[in-house]
Amino acid sequence: MRSEELKRAIYRCGKCKLCSITTFHPARDYLPLCPSGTYYKYQAFYAPGRLEVLRGILDEEVGNTGELLKIAYGCTLCGACHEKCKEISSIDLNHAEIFEDMRNRLVGRGILPEAHREITERVRETGNAYGVTTKKTYPSRRSGDTLYFIGCTSRYREPEIMDSMIAVLEAIGEEFSILDDETCCGSVLFRTGQRDAARELVERNIRAIEESGAKRLVFTCPGCMMTFKKNYPDLGVELLHSTEFIAQHLNDLKVRHLGMNVTYHDPCHLGRHLGIYDAPREILNRIANLHEMKRTREQAWCCGSGGGVKSAFGDFALWTAGERVKEAKLTADVLTSACPFCKRNLAEASDGMEVYDIVELVKLALEVQS
């Protein structure tokens, strides 16, 4: 983004702070929406203050202060502020993208959290964000038009999601392939402003996908999918999230109702950033009793792990997840989501609540039936 474009966006902000709360009418609930501002409290951590700090960076009036790292990177890039703001200010840029650009500028000046530097190193060395060196192998699958892009978190931290998705794909009867040597999509590097470091990954993945001949990529990680959509060139392949794919095949699947009272947490990448709200609900309505939290869909409270926050500001990430779990507990018995990052962070803060990815529940619904 050019500085002038950013400045225009900054000058659009009237400092009304409506982006800090959910829509009031008609429910008349006054609920916080911005995790960063709510947690860190000072104005700099709300969107209007952060925009102001960006102005200072662009005008070279703000240097590397002690707190600048936290201001720039202590934001989950959840985009909730943008959902509110766009109704009011008709701003044309997206706040999450603006704040990502802010990071990119700081990275250019060598200002980034150590934890993010380390992730880049790990990705460089191992091809995955967690630095796992023991390669995970799967029964080689090289057939069909569909490629399941697993992503680092499902592969190395939340393998139940991956296993469930594979089981569901098999149950659907879909011919699909998996990349043996899957490389990180680069999401975490893009989100943390390290665009240059991500480029090599993009190229590697493009080559691998072209070689696979896939016509469709299916993701259980909305972060990966968003990265393919926004940061990759058009590969001429269809990009689908697991929930979209499953919803399309729901009638082909023999699933039964699990009888659970569940609530659904909209992952920011899936909902606000990709606009996918209905497919997860369609599935859940088929296999469970779905109850909505007050902060839902476009105005869902973030799980707290996005934007590199989990790695750099662990306490903030966990607090944010804890707030979500509290809300979920008031709503249902089981908390579901559709993103391995969300599951991981929410589970860590779950305080005894069961947390699942939707594909896990779908698999459970299959198993119960059989």
Partner 1 sequence: MKESLKQIVGDEYITDDSAICYSYSRDQHWNFVPAKSPACVVMPGTREEVREILLFANKNRIPVIPWSTGINVRGLTIPVHDNSILLDLSRLNRIIEINEEMMTATVEPAVTFGMLMAATDKFKLRPAFPDAPLTVSVLANNYLRGIYQTSSADGHDHTLSFEMILPNGEIIKTGSRAFSDDMPYFRYGVGPDIAGMMAASPGTWGVVTELTLKLYPVYDLQQAYFVGFDTVEDSMEFIRNINRDELVESCRLLDHHSYITGLFGTFDYDYEKLPEFVACILVAGIDGIFQAKDTLVRDHIGKSVGVLLDIPEKLRTHFREETLAGSEKSCMVFGVRGNYHCIGIYGPLTHVPAYWELHKKAAADAGIPADHVYFYVNPIGRFHGQLCYVELDIFYDGADPDLGKKIQEYNRIQFPRLLDAGIYGWFRPYAGIIEPTLDRIGYQAELWKKFMEFADPNHIMNPGKLF
Ligand X SMILES: Cc1cc2nc3c(=O)[nH]c(=O)nc-3n(C[C@H](O)[C@H](O)[C@H](O)COP(=O)(O)OP(=O)(O)OC[C@H]3O[C@@H](n4cnc5c(N)ncnc54)[C@H](O)[C@@H]3O)c2cc1C
Q: What is the CA radius of gyration of the chain?
A: 20
User: 96 contacts which partner out of ligand X, ligand SF4, partner 1, none, CB within 5 to 8 A by kind?
Assistant: ligand SF4
Two structure tokens written together for 149: 């892009």
48 sits near ligand SF4 (criterion: CB under 6 A) = yes
Distance CA 149, CA 87 (A): 35
Task: Name residue, tokens 């926050």.
Answer: 309
Question: Minimum CB separation from ligand X for residue 13, in Å?
Answer: 11
User: 127 contacts which partner out of partner 1, ligand X, ligand SF4, none, CB within 5 to 8 A by kind?
Assistant: none
Question: Minimum CB separation from ligand SF4 for residue 23, in Å?
Answer: 12
Element (H, E) at 261: strand 261-264
Beta strands in 86-190 (DSSP E): 146-149, 176-177
Contacting range for ligand SF4; rule: CB under 6 A; set: 55-63, 75-83, 259-267, 325-333: 75-83
User: 351 contacts which partner out of partner 1, ligand X, ligand SF4, none, CB within 5 to 8 A by kind?
Assistant: none
Instruction: Of 214, 220, 222, 228, give the one whose Cα is nearest residue 176.
Output: 214
Contacting range for ligand SF4; rule: CB under 6 A; set: 8-16, 181-189, 244-252, 321-329: 8-16
Question: Minimum CB separation from partner 1 for residue 142, in Å?
Answer: 49
3-class DSSP state of 335: strand
Q: What share of the chain is helix, strand, coil (3-state, %, to 5)?
A: 50, 10, 40
Question: Minimum CB separation from ligand X for residue 67, in Å?
Answer: 22
Q: Which residues sit opposite 261 in a β-bridge?
A: 289
337 vs 144, 158, 246, 295, 346, CA distance in Å?
28, 13, 14, 14, 9
281 vs 162, 264, 267, CA distance in Å?
20, 8, 13
Distance CA 130, CA 120 (A): 10
Residue ranges in contact with ligand X by CB under 6 A: 14, 16
14 sits near ligand SF4 (criterion: CB under 6 A) = yes
Q: Is the peptide bond before 113 cis (omega within 30 degrees of 0)?
A: no
362 sits near ligand SF4 (criterion: CB under 6 A) = no
Member of 96, 129, 214, 253 binding ligand SF4 (CB under 6 A): 96
User: 109 contacts which partner out of partner 1, ligand SF4, ligand X, none, CB within 5 to 8 A by kind?
Assistant: none
Question: Minimum CB separation from ligand X for residue 92, in Å?
Answer: 20
Question: Minimum CB separation from partner 1 for residue 322, in Å?
Answer: 19
Instruction: Of 101, 3, 89, 126, give the one whose Cα is nearest residue 50.
Output: 101
84 sits near ligand SF4 (criterion: CB under 6 A) = yes
Two structure tokens written together for 235: 């590969």
Q: Which is nearer to ligand SF4, 122 or 191 (CB)?
A: 191
368 sits near ligand SF4 (criterion: CB under 6 A) = no
User: 173 contacts which partner out of ligand X, partner 1, ligand SF4, none, CB within 5 to 8 A by kind?
Assistant: none
Member of 5, 65, 88, 330 binding ligand SF4 (CB under 6 A): 88
43 sits near ligand SF4 (criterion: CB under 6 A) = no
Quick check: 71 and 51 in contact, CB under 8 A?
no
Residue ranges in contact with partner 1 by CB under 8 A: 7-8, 11-18, 20-21, 23-26, 28-30, 41-44, 48-50, 52-53, 55-56, 61-63, 65-68, 71, 87-90
Question: Minimum CB separation from ligand X for residue 238, in Å?
Answer: 44
Handedness of CA 261, 265, 266, 269 (dihedral sign): negative
Residues that bind ligand SF4 (CB under 6 A): 13-19, 34-37, 47-48, 50, 75-81, 84-85, 88-89, 95-96, 302
